[in-house]
Amino acid sequence: MSIVMTGGGTGGHLAIIKAVKEQLKDEELIYIGSTKGQDKQWFENDDDFKEKYFFDTRGVVNQKGLGKLKSLWMMVQAARQARKLLKKHNAKVVFSVGGFSSAATAFAAKSLGIPLVIHEQNAALGSLNKLMKPYAKAFISSYLDESPIHAYPIKEIFFDNAHVRSEVKTIMFLGGSQGAKAINELALSLAPELKKRGIKIIHQAGANNIDEVEKAYRDLGIEAEVFGFTTKLADYMNEADFAIARSGASTLWELSATALPTLYIPYPYAASDHQFYNAQFLVEKELAWLMREDAIEVDKVLAMLDENMQTKSQGLMDIVEKDGSYKIAQYIKSI
């Protein structure tokens, strides 16, 4: 019997599959995804999966008119293929992380009576996960009280680095490897005052913005550690005492696991505004700050630096659970 893993399209979805499948290497694993998105890039050559399949599917929600009908037809065809594959590999459970590339296999699992376990990364449910939630054997979310598991699947290094911050000596601006214009502009607006206060700047400006941002710091006469993509993210978070970041699920939980007090500035065009609701989850617990991109006020941000970091930092250490990928894997194996 096999465990079938499906879903993706984006790195946020696929990172969950990668984390969980690392804990299931003693099982027969099958991956089913899409030719669109990043699925093949992540898993086409991954030997942890006995077999990998990629259907010709695409998103439905973002299509219009005839495009929506074509996407639905592609999904129906893929669901037929998925049914055959689930039977062929004697699937005992399907683990889905959502996204359009999971739809065909999730529907096929339901039609065959195969248990479906769904992981939702965000506080605002994705369209497919919301649709399939009533039919799932388990619906796993770090934001929902009724979830059987609340731990988010992230690397142990972030927990290992967790420590309580008391004052801000280093600030980190985190716009992702592609950068975030609003965060870059805010960083440069704050930089002169940060220099006066003796606060070190770590800035992920985005791969395409490094030269421009580095020049802006030089023109201001300010030293800053500027980078685009990095493999040292955990180290940078460990060094920082305060962060300003987007609020994609992985970033939010990595920052939280490190116990790093953070002002979240959500990407305004995220589907279902999920980045806002991710951050709002922590704000309601008084463990983070939140500002819309079009409502950034430099004076308010500077005032945050004088607030009690220790309370928020300790609160994050108390709320975030460890071993998310292990717990999810054990749950899947138990079915």
Q: Indicate if 60 and 126 belong to the same structural domain.
A: yes
For residue 330, give the H/E element and its range: helix 324-334
Distance, in Å, from the CA atom of 71 to the CA atom of 56, rounded to the nearest integer, reads 10
Digits of tens for pLDDT over the chain (335 positions)? 999 999 887 778 888 999 999 999 999 999 999 998 888 989 999 999 999 999 987 665 665 666 666 666 777 788 899 999 999 999 999 999 998 889 899 999 999 999 999 999 999 998 889 999 999 999 999 999 999 999 999 888 999 999 999 999 999 999 887 779 999 999 999 999 999 999 999 999 988 899 999 999 999 999 999 998 888 999 999 999 999 999 999 999 999 999 999 999 999 998 889 999 999 999 999 999 999 999 999 999 999 999 999 999 999 999 999 999 999 999 999 99
CA distance readout (Å), 52 to 41, 108, 249: 12, 17, 26
The total of structural domains in the chain comes to 2
Q: What is the CATH number of the domain that holds 327?
A: 3.40.50.2000
Cα–Cα nearest to 258, from 192, 335, 319, 332: 319
| Domain extent at residue 140 | 2-152+323-334
Contacts of 154 (CB under 8 A, 6+ apart): 19, 250, 253, 254, 257, 324, 325
Cα 117 to the center of its chain, rounded Å: 18
Q: What radius of gyration, in Å, describes the C-alpha atoms of the chain? A: 21
Residues 134 and 264 in one domain: no
Does residue 50 sit in the same domain as residue 130?
yes
Q: What is the pLDDT of residue 66?
A: 61
Single-letter residue type at 289: W
Q: Are residues 145 and 265 in the same domain?
A: no
Identify whether residues 291 and 170 lie together within a single domain: yes
Q: Are residues 295 and 282 in the same domain?
A: yes
The predicted model scores a pTM of: 0.88
Q: In whole angstroms, how far apart are CA 284 and each of 136, 176, 243, 287, 294?
A: 28, 24, 18, 8, 21
